[in-house]
Amino acid sequence: MVSRFERMSVGTKVWLEKDGKPVFGVGKFCLFKAIREKGSISKASKLMNISFRRAWSHLDDAERNFGTPLLEKHKGGRGGGSSCLTNEAEDLIMKFEMLNKEINEFAEKKFNELFIMQTK
């Protein structure tokens, strides 16, 4: 017998909160990874299809909430500026990625236990 849940899956969304307000989620996580990849806020914002101003706002917000610099910024000149992640930012995105992965794996396992295996 085929379960009515057979073609379904579970979805999750993970974010970090401070004082009950979201401060870091998938969007900022992706922005930090794009900065790591591209080496600049400007190039990262273009990759993510958001304005430089919005990217800068997200970064400033994250630094205020975590109380530590998350980027090393080098002002532009003839060749443009550059940015790289601090050790604290690298640690943050590594831990967030692990947390997100483990929560998704747990949710998928629990979904299968409750909805798929029990109906067979």
Is the pLDDT score of 7 beyond 90? no
* Domain chopping of the chain, boundaries: 16-92
Q: What's the CATH fold of domain 16-92?
A: Arc Repressor Mutant, subunit A (1.10.10)
Indicate the range of 6-15, 31-40, 43-52 predicted with least confidence: 6-15
Residue ranges of E strands in the chain = 16-18, 21-24, 71-74, 82-85
In tens, the pLDDT along 42-80 reads 999 999 999 999 999 999 999 999 999 999 988 776 667
- For residue 95, the model assigns a pLDDT of 98
Residues 6+ away with beta carbon under 8 Å from 55? 31, 41, 44, 45, 48
Closest by CA to 86, choosing from 66, 106, 112, is 66
The region, left, alpha or beta by phi > 0 then psi within -120 to 50, assigned to residue 52 is alpha
Is the pLDDT score of 1 beyond 90? no
Q: What is the DSSP letter of 86?
A: -
Is the pLDDT score of 101 beyond 60? yes
